[in-house]
Structure 1
Amino acid sequence: MALYHHKSKRRQSGGRRRPKRKKRKYELGSEPMPTQVGEEKTKKIRTMGGDNKTRLLKTNKANVTNPETGETNQTEIEEVTENQANPHYVRRDIITKGAIIQTKQGKAKVTNRPGQDGVVNAKIIN
């Protein structure tokens, strides 16, 4: 079932609010699809204007940049060590923007939104 972004049918006082028009397609939303560590798995979604968005459901690789040298290499993700979005995401190995992941090159901070971009980009931190 799709999510529908609209005003509530009830007012703050509890009274009924009557709709002025019917639902519009642009008001549709979708359930969140968190990116997890695992075998690569993506899903294509049609967006407004007929474009496509690649949702990254699972991945075990990340594009890691070393800020000192400017080099970017693809490396394996070992685990999620910290996630400020939700502390329970660490236990579930969910990757979001700002999450700190352990890679073969060391700890790295995710700089993009993997569920929106289809890849994980990160930079090495000390």
Structure 2
Amino acid sequence: MKDQGRSPRKRTGGRRRPNHKKKKHELGTESTETQVGEPKLKVVDSRGNTQKVRAVTTDIASVADGATTHEATIENVVENPSNPNYARRNIITKGAIIDTSQGRARVTSRPGQDGQVNAVAVE
């Protein structure tokens, strides 16, 4: 996990007060909650003259089944361990269990960061 600045506690356990507010480069962005639907991508500038492709909505997943990989259509989100509310709202994150045309699969990629859904078949 990325370091979010200095710890608010000293080594001795004493409190360390912040000496400034967040600077522009320290600000985060709102998370992209990828939903099931017609594929829609969004290109965002990121640090170091690079770009990230965020999947706003998608219905295509690459499902790995042993040695072979198939492209499958996502029907809905069955379970999401990161947030039970996400399953009800059909939001795809890493670790989510999705229903596809190839059967159930667990998402191994981060669609809000990579712009694609990679998954492994679950029996």
Query: What pairs up with 1:85-124 in 2 under 5 angstroms?
Result: 85-124=82-121
Q: CA deviation at 1:25?
A: 3.1
Deviation at residue 26 of structure 1 after TM alignment: 2.3
Q: In the alignment, what sits opposite 2:24?
A: 25
**1:39 aligns to what SS in structure 2?**
coil
C-alpha change, 1:106 and 1:29, in structure 2 (3 Å) is: same
TM-score of the two chains, using structure 1 as the length reference: 0.81
SS of residue paired to 2:48: helix
Other-structure match for 1:73: 70
Amino acid at match of 2:26: E
Query: What is the RMSD computed on CA atoms of the aligned residues?
Result: 2.4
What percentage of residue pairs aligned between the two structures are identical?
50
Secondary structure (helix, strand or coil) at the match of 2:109 reads coil
Runs (5+) with no aligned partner, structure 2: 7-16
Question: How many residues in Structure 1 have an aligned counterpart in Structure 2?
Answer: 115
> What stretches of structure 1 of length at least 5 have no aligned partner?
8-16
Change (3 A) 1:23 1:107: closer
- Give the TM-score normalised by structure 2: 0.83
User: What SS does the aligned partner of 1:29 have?
Assistant: coil
